[in-house]
Amino acid sequence: MKVLVPFLEKRKLFIIKLLLVFALIAIIVSFFFSPTPPKYFGGKYNMDFVYALIAYKIIELFVVYYILMHRHILFLRKYPTTLEFIEKLKKHTKLLLFLVIQGNTVFGIIAFKFSGSILYFLLFSCIALVALLLLDPKKLLITA
């Protein structure tokens, strides 16, 4: 466990840096490219769709966090660790860190396209940043 936590901390820091790079690239791209929102149904439901994406992403982050990390923390409080369990935990936490940035970036691009405003991409980047900052691999040391 003492090897896993520093590995996850480094990975978390790398993903935070990558998230900031994506946000910077998005800001630069927004100066040169301004998409026109699609006119499906007269553009009437574009912002409703964007708000639904925001709500979905916030709910999804809680569910994914529980499935990929929190239930393992609860398991660690009750049972001793095994090498097999540590490998499974490493795989799931790596997946969680990947899914946070990947999902928010994709949803941010979709929101950017549907709204025509870079602010929604940056909102999804902020949601991902908050989720990454709240994710603390050191909790694994406390429970072990």
Q: Which pLDDT band holds residue 16 (cuts at 50, 70, 90)?
A: very high
* The pLDDT of residue 1 is above 80: no
pLDDT tens for 30-39 read 999 888 888 8
Q: Where is pLDDT greater, at 143 or 88?
A: 88
Nearest to 114 by CA among 56, 54, 58: 54
Q: Is 125 in a helix, a strand, or coil?
A: helix
Distance of CA 126 to the CA centre of its chain: 9
Predicted pLDDT at 142: 64
pLDDT in tens, 65-75: 878 777 877 78
C-alpha dihedral, 90 to 92 to 97 to 101, nearest 10°: 150
pLDDT at 135: 82
- The answer, yes or no, to whether residue 27 has pLDDT greater than 90, is yes
- Report the b/e string of 48-85 with b at 16+ CB within 10 A: eebeebeeebeeebeebbeebbeebeeebeeeebeeee
**pLDDT tens track for 73-132:** 778 778 777 788 888 888 888 888 888 899 999 999 999 999 989 999 999 999 999 988
